[in-house]
């Protein structure tokens, strides 16, 4: 119910990909990294633990409307998100993708974003089917800290 209520409230208000970067508190906004044109943010209602999203700051919903520099940084930060999750969580695979347009399942169809979802063998369970609930093995706060530490280690190696 929290997801249903919050998702409805968010969609009635401003775009989260526009408002979250302006809030100024990256931890409470779940922003892991800020680039010049794009940023990495955790999904508040993740498909799997470690579910990240990469989004441009600019409010744009069509892939072909991205500026070349935004496209380049979006992909570069997607790679950084994958590397961060690998460093922190050692997944066995990933789902990467965008839902472009309302009918594709985009919750925020006017502001595109890349989903980065870590996967493990057997990571699906019976709870969504039986109880209509998703069980997450780690809180968002713990997951944020773990991912942030891994990201900082990666960025230090690049220096």
Active site residue 113: yes
Q: Which long-range contacts (CB under 8 A, 24 or more apart) does 55-61 make?
A: 55/17, 55/111, 55/112, 55/113, 55/114, 56/17, 56/112, 57/17, 57/18, 57/21, 59/15, 59/17, 59/18, 59/110, 59/111, 60/111, 60/112, 61/100, 61/109, 61/110, 61/111, 61/112
CA distance 89 to 46: 15
Q: Which of 33, 111, 113, 115 is catalytic?
A: 113
* Stated length of the chain: 159
Residue 95: name the closest of 55, 56, 47, 44 by CA: 47
> What residues act catalytically?
113
């Amino acid at each position: 119910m929290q997801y249903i209520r919050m998702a409805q409230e968010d969609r009635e208000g401003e775009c989260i990909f526009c408002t979250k970067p302006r809030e100024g508190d990256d931890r409470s906004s779940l922003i892991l990294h800020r680039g010049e044109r794009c940023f990495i943010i955790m999904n508040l209602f993740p498909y799997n633990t470690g579910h990240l999203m990469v989004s441009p700051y600019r409010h744009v919903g069509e892939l072909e409307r991205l500026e070349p520099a935004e496209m380049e940084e979006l992909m570069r930060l997607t790679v950084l998100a994958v590397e961060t999750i690998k460093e922190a969580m050692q997944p066995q695979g990933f789902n990467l993708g965008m839902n472009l347009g309302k009918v594709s399942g985009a919750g925020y169809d006017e502001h595109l974003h890349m989903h980065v979802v870590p996967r493990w063998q057997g990571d699906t369970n019976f709870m969504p089917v039986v109880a209509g609930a998703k069980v997450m093995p780690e809180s968002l706060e713990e997951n944020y800290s773990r991912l942030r530490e891994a990201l900082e280690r990666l960025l230090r190696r690049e220096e």
